[in-house]
Amino acid sequence: MAPLSNRLPGTRFVEFDSGKCQACWSCVDACPKHVIGKVSVLWHKHAVLRKGEACVGCFKCVAACRAGALQQRILAP
């Protein structure tokens, strides 16, 4: 099995698992660069990374996510 950093989408600094997202939107509110948006269509609700290139690695979204959907990406040396 590949390490999480190679399997999950995300930014250079953060990986995102939409399957764990509980659509609480805490990460959306926490992100100062507006990288994270919402998908909210009837029963299909979760956060989505919209502007990954704008992520500066402050990890405020990671701290805000109680579901563990956002994690710090482990960068290869």
pLDDT value for 4? 46
**pLDDT of 28 higher than 70:** yes
Q: What domains appear along the chain, each with residue ranges and CATH number? A: 10-72 (3.30.70.20)
Report, as an integer, the average pLDDT of 33-38.
95
**pLDDT of 41 higher than 50:** yes
For every residue of the chain, DSSP letters joined together read ---HHHHS-B-SSEEE-TTT-----HHHHH-TT--EEEEEETTEEEEEES-GGG-----HHHHH-SSS-EEE-----
Report, as an integer, the average pLDDT of 6-10.
72
